[in-house]
A and B are shown apart, each in its own frame.
Chain A
Amino acid sequence: MRIDVLAALAAVSTSLLAIAPAFADDAPQPASSGSVIDQGMSMFDDGKLLATGGVSDLEGAGGGGLATWALTTGYGTRDGVGLDGHFTYIALPDYSLWTEGVAVGLWDRVELSYAHLTFDTEKVGAALGLGKDFEFDQDVVGAKVKIVGDAIYDQDSWLPQIAVGAQYKSTDHVDILHAVGAKSGDGTDFYVAATKLFLEESLLVDVTLRETKANQFGILGFGGDKNDSYSSEFEGSAAYLFSRDFALGGEFRTKPDNLGIAKENDAWDVFAAYFINKHVSVTLAYLNLGNIVIKDNQQGAYLSLQVGL
């Protein structure tokens, strides 16, 4: 399974990288008054500066990897729209996680996203009697609205860009989720994110507060035998920009601990993001999710590819 997924990702990456140079130096043309298609495509104004749309996080929203940011995904300015898709693969010692999704940014104000997470239990599935490579699938539908501030332009102010959002998550195999102690197979996270680019220091910082019941991002359901109410959780990122197309950073995210069968830990990562152009970016990370059910120290590689219009 893991090999298939890696091979597929490699194939997709290779083909996209092959396309990338064709995009790389296509200076955007002035909006044409020609066909309907031309007019439609001019909505994708590609007007934001490189990297200022962030990348696609684990849950499909514009952000880092673990943290959802206040930035609107994509490269549409307040006069345009941006559309992107992502593929992310996480190889942990005893599990693997694959997410794919699409997101649209409208007028640099509203973001709508969808992601599908597939969590492969590999050998643990067999040990738990579920069967080897037993998979949990989760859909995440997200919406985010920028409330105030501009992370990039407001360099003369301490005010960050602030956005609020919600993510509705639904996971399958509800009977199994109930068996491990989860109260529900679906739930909604609410968050407020504050993001600021400290341009003078070439540093991007995000702080996000999330109200959630999700166990392991929702892969193990919502609420639990230990706790079935919303928890206030923190997620944050800091990234240093080494150049216009390359950033190194770290992230931290706290998670609820609702299930009696296993202690859930906080997560962190260190990442490198490379923005080949406004259409293709690649993020590599070393990710630590801590304990997941019967296995401790689930740390491994995170590889994400984002492509966009």
Chain B
Amino acid sequence: MLRKLALAAVAALTISASSALADDALFHDLGGRDGIATIVDDATANFLADPRIKATFDNTNMDRFKTNLTDQLCVVAGGPCVYKGQSMHDAHKGLHLTNADFNALVEDLQAGMDKVGVSFATQNRLLARLAPMNRDVVTK
């Protein structure tokens, strides 16, 4: 009986250890914080060149935006970062963004990840965690 319990405990520990490893797998697949920072650089250049959404950033401090977005994606991907920016809801309040705006941003982010060579499957693992933010970002 004790032996079975011990085995179960070992099994449980193994499972939790492997899930802890799996949790930052995406962070590593995106190239760590440096990789994410490069993606954010490219994506931000795309945002600012995109006639559909560039006006959204008219009053944005882009350096701070890039730092915040990098930290946020790092956290979302399971990395050891701290996001110091506003909540998604507060950050987008009053911007009247549409679903089309949100998707335009996704397309620009995808293009950024393409440029860095992030595989489509890995891109989708990140986008799957970002997609629900649609509810806080789209206010129109």
A residues within 8 Å of B by Cβ? 27-30, 45-49, 77-80, 108, 152-157, 199-202, 241-244
Q: Is the CB of B120 within 8 A of A78?
A: no
Measured between beta carbons, the chain A residues less than 8 angstroms from B121 are 202
Q: Which residues of A contact B98 (CB under 8 A)?
A: 45, 47, 77, 79
| Least CB separation from A108: chain B residue | B99
Q: Cβ of A47: which chain B residues have Cβ within 8 Å of it?
A: 98-101, 103-104
| A79 touching B124, Cβ below 8 Å | no
Verify B100–A200 contact, CB threshold 8 A. Answer: no
Residues of B within 8 A of A201 (CB): 124
Establish whether residues B100 and A155, one from each chain, have CB atoms under 8 Å apart when the complex forms.
no
B82-127 interface (Cβ within 8 A of A): 98-101, 103-104, 106-107, 110, 120-121, 124-125, 127
Q: How far, in angstroms, from A80 to B99 measured CA to CA in the complex? A: 10
Q: Which residues of B contact A156 (CB under 8 A)?
A: 131-132
**A241-B120 in contact given A27-B52, A28-B52, A46-B100 (Cβ < 8 Å):** yes
Interface residue? B135 (CB, 8 A) = yes
B62 to chain A minimum Cβ distance, whole angstroms, is: 21
B128–A244 CB distance below 8 A: no
> In the complex the two chains form, is A49's CB within 8 Å of B107's CB?
yes
Residue of B nearest to A49 (CB): B103
Q: Closest approach, in angstroms, between the C-beta of A276 and any C-beta of chain B? A: 16
Is B50 interfacial (CB 8 A cutoff)? Answer: yes
Given contacts A27-B51, A152-B131, A153-B134, contact A80 B124 (CB under 8 A): no
Decide: A155 and B132 in contact? CB cutoff 8 A: yes
**Which of A46, A79, A153, A202 makes the CB contact (< 8 A) with B131?**
A153
- Complex: chain B residue closest to A27, CB-CB: B51
Q: Inside 8 A of B131's CB, which chain A residues have their CB?
A: 152-156, 199
Q: How far is the CB of A204 from chain B (nearest CB, A)?
A: 11
Complex alpha-carbon distance, A154 and B133, angstroms? 9
Which of A30, A48, A199 sits near B128, CB closer than 8 Å? A199
A80 to B103, CA, bound (A): 13
